[in-house]
Structure 1
Amino acid sequence: MDWSKTKTIFIIVFLILDIFLLTLFINKYNENQYDFLGEAKLEDKLKIDNISYEQPLSKDPEKQPYLNAITKAFTEEEIKELKDQSVEIIGSTTISSKLEDGKYVLSEKFNSEELNDFIDKNVLHGDSYTFWEIDEEQQRILYYQTYEGKTLYKNINGELAIYYNEDRQIVSYTQTLMTDFEEIPDKKSVITPLQALETLYDKEKLPSESTIGTPEIGYYTLVPEAERQVLAPAWHFTVSKDEDKHHLFVNAFEGNIIEFNNTEKELLE
């Protein structure tokens, strides 16, 4: 065995390995520096406009799937379970109910937990929904359906709307429901909440002197009225200023801002 040749081979191999490891280190260092500079730059912008937000925003990589789901068609057999209410099925996919008494009364300082008992006893699949908002002007409390804890944002096919009268008694509700959920294989990486927040800032969606709540990831659909839907992940931010609060959404795959119009269809910028 020629020891000098063997030694030379080992030296070359270790040199290549050192170069490879050094390249990995440099690339990782540059990525970390880019993330740090990007965050610092956004923080400076927000400070100038007196915009505060929950910190720290996650920068960990996350993957989510697309979803397939269909609108549930309710049956007369199902609504027989509903007691002390007059129920009809509209267009096979919407339950419309009127309550027969004023048993449930909302407090002046409403808390969504007040309705847990009502929903549990009076709504089919009531545990499928999460509270969204109360609209005192329309005397309506809105819930949206969830999938594995994630909200189906502004989806009229997965919605529970509860109505009350001037005495704050619950008088009626309407309900739609998505079912047969399937995750489309091959999950994709989503943008980070920090990247989504920067998009909102760059598009001038964040007013000065505002406060941004903790971002949440859920799902939205391009065509809410369709019987079969494909739903994609979206980041949701709550932005508060003075007494006003509004919701902002960013496509978690593409990074586009999602706009919902009055009919709850949405357009992408």
Structure 2
Amino acid sequence: MDWNKSNIIFIVAFIILNIFLLSYSFNDIFSEEYNIMSDKDFIEDVENILKEKNIAINCEIPKEIYTLPVLDTEYRIINIDKKMLEKFLGEGIDPVENVFSYSNQKGESIEIIEGKKFIYTLREKVNGNLEDNLKITDEINNFLKNKNIDGSGFSENYRIIIDDSGFIMYTRYYNNVSVDNSYMKFYFDRNGIYKFEMQKIISIKEIGEKVNTFTAAESLLKLLSYDDVNNKEIIKIDMSYYSIEDENWQVISGINSYPVWKVIFSDGTQKHLISPNIYFY
């Protein structure tokens, strides 16, 4: 989507959001007890608008409103050296300047993206139904131990299983809220883990101002600004911390992370509902 089109759609979605808020709060503007999450008509209208894009909500819409600090986050910058190459690919491979992808004769490979994302492919995915007795959590723990990867601070956020494969997403948590840019993602099939992806935040500090978010229902209207969410099913809505990874991501080592609502779809994709739904005070 080009920048101009994206912003036009965003503005339209924002106008729609404000019209809804005005129409549903006008009669109750002098009532301190009005709670938009208790307004069944508003919730129903949000669901109906999303249905026009064939977006189904198959989960509870959270009612909480959060007041949370903004986080100053610092990322681990990955330097490719001989020790790393030997650790994942074995001996005999030397690092080359400005080369960010390496492989060995076994079919294993590593790739570093934008200096922060580490992708390790162990093998090709195999076809076949997943076995009920596949102990993927045990395999994850063994993988981290064998590769000497520090998984402390990470907890399972969600898992998706589609047909003959799936993945489990682990994220770092700060005060019980997921910091989504700091993650470990394990891809698995009937034979276990076949790919691993990681991006790691090494430092988190609160900065002065706090933000008060709108409700999840209000934020869901931000989905109207995306053209790649039609015909999808929402299976989870959750509060998270998130930073936009834009074209400048490669040169960024630290950035602020803001509390935003996140939706997870049944196909494993997710959207962070970044919009003017945050008030500083």
Q: Report the TM-score, using the length of structure 2 for normalisation.
A: 0.53
For the residues of structure 2 that align with 1:84 and 1:239, how far apart are their CA atoms?
32
Kindly tell me the number of residue pairs found equivalent between the two proteins. Answer: 212
Structure 1 residues 86 and 132: alpha-carbon distance in aligned structure 2, compared to 1, 3 A threshold: farther
Q: Following TM superposition, by how much is the alpha carbon of 1:230 offset from its aligned partner in structure 2, in angstroms?
A: 1.2
For the residues of structure 1 that align with 2:139 and 2:119, how far apart are their CA atoms?
18
Contact 2:214 2:277 (C-alpha < 8 Å) held by counterparts: yes
Higher alpha-carbon Rg:
1
Q: Following TM superposition, by how much is the alpha carbon of 1:42 offset from its aligned partner in structure 2, in angstroms?
A: 2.4
Q: Following TM superposition, by how much is the alpha carbon of 1:140 offset from its aligned partner in structure 2, in angstroms?
A: 9.3
Could you tell me which of 236, 252, 277 is aligned with 1:214? Answer: 236
Highest relative contact order (Cα 8 Å, sep 6+), 1 or 2? 2
Mapping of residues 33-182 of structure 1, within 5 Å: 36=39, 37-45=41-49, 51-55=56-60, 57-72=61-76, 86=90, 108-109=130-131, 112-121=136-145, 122-129=147-154, 130=156, 143=169, 145-148=171-174, 149-153=176-180, 155=181, 158-160=182-184, 168=191, 175-182=198-205
SS in 1 for 2:130: coil
Letter aligned with residue 217 of structure 1: M
Structure 1 residues 182 and 86: alpha-carbon distance in aligned structure 2, compared to 1, 3 A threshold: farther
Contact 2:139 2:193 (C-alpha < 8 Å) held by counterparts: no
Q: Following TM superposition, by how much is the alpha carbon of 1:40 offset from its aligned partner in structure 2, in angstroms?
A: 3.6
Letter aligned with residue 257 of structure 2: L
Q: Following TM superposition, by how much is the alpha carbon of 1:66 offset from its aligned partner in structure 2, in angstroms?
A: 1.3
Contact 2:158 2:168 (C-alpha < 8 Å) held by counterparts: yes
Structure 1 residues 35 and 204: alpha-carbon distance in aligned structure 2, compared to 1, 3 A threshold: farther
For the residues of structure 1 that align with 2:141 and 2:211, how far apart are their CA atoms?
38
Structure 1 residues 231 and 123: alpha-carbon distance in aligned structure 2, compared to 1, 3 A threshold: farther
Equivalent residue number for residue 16 of structure 1:
none
Q: Following TM superposition, by how much is the alpha carbon of 1:198 offset from its aligned partner in structure 2, in angstroms?
A: 3.1
Letter aligned with residue 230 of structure 1: N
How big is the alpha-carbon RMSD for the aligned residues of Structure 1 and Structure 2?
4.9
For the residues of structure 1 that align with 2:194 and 2:221, how far apart are their CA atoms?
43
Equivalent residue number for residue 219 of structure 2:
196
- 1:225-247, CA deviations, whole angstroms, 9 ceiling, x for partnerless residues? 3111211122211223xxx4432
Equivalent residue number for residue 4 of structure 2:
none
For structure 1, the residue ranges without an aligned partner over 5 or more in a row are 1-23, 100-106, 257-269
The question of 1:28 aligning with 2:32 is answered: yes
Contact 2:172 2:178 (C-alpha < 8 Å) held by counterparts: yes
Contact 1:217 1:234 (C-alpha < 8 Å) held by counterparts: yes
The question of 1:237 aligning with 2:254 is answered: no
